[in-house]
Structure formats: structure tokens, C-alpha cells
Amino acid sequence: MRIDRERYSTIDRWRRIVHRRVDNVRPTLIRAVVLAQNVTETLKQARDDLKQAEKTADDEGTREEIRETAEAYRDYVVGDHEPDHAILDEHLNTLRQIRRQVDGDTEEQIERALEATENYRTDVEQA
């Protein structure tokens, strides 16, 4: 009987360890899922701001650059892949250049998209 108790004790101990680890992992996974949703929402908002900026831009070349960036963001929001840091930096640089070329409502929309993209990049780094 003593052997059975030791065996049960060992199995019970491992079971408690596993449950403790699972309980510790569960909140981390939940935080990761919530962060991913927030990150996606941030990029979706940036894309919406770019769509509005495209409508108010005066220059066709500027509209084209805004449209290309908005389409790239759509791919990130709808698709199952994330942009790497180099691609995000490229988009940020494009938005900064566009911001210098525009004014009024277009500038405000670009500024909001730029801020959302910077927040997205920060959130991705923290995740």
C-alpha cells in the first residue's frame, strides 16, 4: 500500500504543478488575444483615416501614395500576416513625407493615421 500512496502523491503533485502552470499561462494568452485585437483596431483606424485623406487630397500623386498605403493596411487588417518593422518604418516615412505635402483636412487625417501607425508599431514591439 505504501507504494501506491507514493505513486498517487507523485501523480497528484504533478497534476497540481501542471494546473498551476496552465492557470498562469491562461491570463497571458488572454492578454495576447486582446492586444492583437487592439492592434488590429489601431491599424484599421489608420486605414480609415487614410481613406478620408485620399478623398480630400488635391494632388493625384499624393492620392496615389495614400491609396497604396491604405491598401497595404487593408491587407494587414484582413490578412493573417503582420508587417515587419522595416515595412512599418517605410509606411511611417511615406506618411511623414505626405504630411509635408498636404494641408487642411488632409493633413489632419494623415496626422491621425501617422499617430495610429506609430501606436501600432509600439504595440507590436511590446507584444
Could you tell me which residue, 100 or 18, shows the higher pLDDT? 100
Tell me if 98 is assigned to some domain: yes
Tell me if 29 is assigned to some domain: no
Convert the pLDDT of each residue in 23-78 to its tens digit.
555 566 566 655 566 667 888 999 999 999 999 999 999 999 999 999 999 988 88
The yes-or-no verdict on residue 1 having pLDDT over 60 is no
Tell me if 81 is assigned to some domain: yes
Which candidate, 7, 4, 3, 92, places its Cα nearest to that of 50? 92
Alpha carbon of 85 to those of 46, 78, 110, 124, 125: distances in Å?
17, 19, 20, 9, 9
Question: Which pLDDT score, from 0 to 100, does residue 121 have?
Answer: 86
Tell me if 58 is assigned to some domain: yes
Give the number of domains in the chain: 1
Tell me if 105 is assigned to some domain: yes
Cell of 38: 487592439
Domain that holds residue 50: 36-126
Tell me if 16 is assigned to some domain: no
Q: What is the pTM of this model?
A: 0.70
